[in-house]
Amino acid sequence: MFQSGDGTELTAKPKRSFYAARDLYKYRHQYPQNFKDLRYQNDLCNLRFYKNKIPFKPDGVYIEEVLNKWKGDYEKLEHNHTYIQWLFPLREQGLNFYAKELTTYEIEEFKKTKEAIRRFLLAYKMMLEFFGIKLIDKTGNVARAANWQERFQHLNESQHNYLRITRILKSLGELGYESFKSPLVKFILHEALVEDTIPNIKQSALEYFVYTIRDRRERRKLLRFAQQHYTPSDHFIWGPPRKQKSEGSKTNKKPASPVSVHNSYISKHKKPKEPKNTSASGSSAGKTTEERKVELIKSGEENDQDEQEMNCDALRQNNSEKNSDTDTSQLSKSEEVNDTSDRKEDSSHSKNDDENLNNDCGNHPDAIEKDLCDTENSSNNTSADLQGSLDKDTLSGGTTTKNKDELKS
């Protein structure tokens, strides 16, 4: 909080977290990088815990005791930090090193075990009540619990619980309840932005909670809702850049996608090729066939060279834009990790969707460079085809000229 000269309070503009972007990108895409699925090595300990066969470590408490005796004991749920990794397991290591990571095989077996699923939902309800929320139906819709005022006040002041909510949302998605996540996130955004009951949670909700949802359309609906109610509106950094009304502010507009820039370069270059070669063939009507062929070959080589130079320019521009965006974000928060993968997820879709909320799509620099190379190869093939066609036209044109000369003689 800052204070202006007239005494009004000014709120600092929030900053994006690249650590959050990288972490949640890996989660949404099934941990694609450096992920080794040890299918049987953890001995299904998460499933066995939920079947009440083993206690969670290091406390030595069984799941039935947690669900029956810990429910409503908010002091125990608040100050114990080892149970949450067992109640909501993930395919990543948490702070409790006694808790084992989920495997894909264990997830499949968990979903088929009714006893485990029943207890998992009871654990979810217990934690919702701890936060002042209640589950109201089987589709995942939630509402305020009877104790919401007390619990919301506590939730607004205990920010370590935001990490627990992120873990709960991730675990819901892993164990077959992806559809439960959007209603909970929408409820939290409404309470934080509209009702102002838990305002301190809005940063975590927009940085983490929204991006645990794997469906891009659902994420964008939530971000549109948040953008409508966020104050001050010009501090909303998760949505698309605002449209500029004056021409003088064009520099603030978001640059076009590198792929579209490249395509525009190619299209602009292709248009003058046809009349250029046509006029060249027309002007050389009086020359011999061999001379015209040599000129056309040289012209094609120059065109190919120009296309390659433009492809390189577009690629360099793409790289410079990415480097500039990364450097700016690094200066804004020195503790954040330099990973722009999730930001690039949205850039390829920014042209097709006016919301383009929070760089939401999955394009990476490697994929963009590959697209540019594919486009370059395609354009080179097109140049080769055009050159071959012109050679045929030239040969036929040369034969016609020669026949006319013979007739005259």
**HSE (CB half, 13 Å, CA atoms) of 391?**
13
Share of the chain above pLDDT 90, in %: 48
The DSSP code sequence of 44-56 is THHHHHHTTSSPB
Q: Which is higher by pLDDT, 142 or 355?
A: 142
Q: Out of 154-168, 183-197, 204-218, 246-260, which region has the weakest mean confidence (pLDDT)? A: 246-260
Q: Are the C-beta atoms of residues 167 and 94 closer than 8 Å to each other?
A: yes
pLDDT value of residue 16? 87
Q: Which is higher by pLDDT, 263 or 221?
A: 221
Which residue range is the domain that position 200 belongs to?
A: 132-240
Same domain membership, residue 236 and residue 146: yes
In terms of Cα–Cα distance, which of 154, 156, 153 is closest to 199? Answer: 156
Would you say residue 265 lies in a domain? Answer: no
Look at the chain and report how many structural domains it folds into: 2
Same domain membership, residue 179 and residue 92: no
Q: Out of 12-16, 71-75, 266-270, which region has the weakest mean confidence (pLDDT)? A: 266-270
**pLDDT exceeds 60 at position 34:** no
**DSSP code of residue 61:** B
The model's confidence at residue 43, banded by pLDDT at 50, 70 and 90, is confident
pLDDT value of residue 406? 41
The model's confidence at residue 44, banded by pLDDT at 50, 70 and 90, is very high
In one-letter notation, the amino acid at residue 283 is S
- Residue 12 backbone zone (phi > 0: left; psi -120 to 50: alpha; other: beta): beta
Strand partners, 133: 144
Same domain membership, residue 151 and residue 90: no
Q: Which is higher by pLDDT, 333 or 29?
A: 29
Q: Are the C-beta atoms of residues 213 and 24 closer than 8 Å to each other?
A: no
Element (H, E) at 289: helix 289-332
What is the rounded average pLDDT of the residues 23-31? Answer: 91
Same domain membership, residue 137 and residue 101: no
Element (H, E) at 9: strand 9-10
What is the rounded average pLDDT of the residues 271-285? Answer: 45
**DSSP code of residue 11:** P
Would you say residue 321 lies in a domain? Answer: no
**pLDDT exceeds 90 at position 163:** yes
Q: Are the C-beta atoms of residues 321 and 260 closer than 8 Å to each other?
A: no
The model's confidence at residue 56, banded by pLDDT at 50, 70 and 90, is very high
Structure tokens at 11: 């709120």
Same domain membership, residue 220 and residue 141: yes
pLDDT value of residue 75? 95
**pLDDT exceeds 50 at position 100:** yes
The model's confidence at residue 337, banded by pLDDT at 50, 70 and 90, is very low
pLDDT value of residue 300? 52
> What's the rounded Cα separation, in Å, for the pair 160 and 130?
14
pLDDT value of residue 312? 45
HEC sequence for 204-266: HHHHHHHHHCCCHHHHHHHHHHHHHHCCCHHHCCCCCCCCCCCHHHHHHCCCCCHHHHHHHHH
pLDDT value of residue 154? 96
Same domain membership, residue 99 and residue 161: no
Would you say residue 165 lies in a domain? Answer: yes
Domain stops at, among 240, 259, 289: 240
What is the rounded average pLDDT of the residues 65-94? Answer: 94
Domain stops at, among 67, 86, 105: 105
The model's confidence at residue 94, banded by pLDDT at 50, 70 and 90, is confident
Same domain membership, residue 227 and residue 181: yes
Whole-number average pLDDT of the chain:
72
pLDDT tens digits for range 106-134: 999 999 999 999 999 999 999 999 999 99
Domain stops at, among 219, 240, 261: 240
The model's confidence at residue 218, banded by pLDDT at 50, 70 and 90, is very high
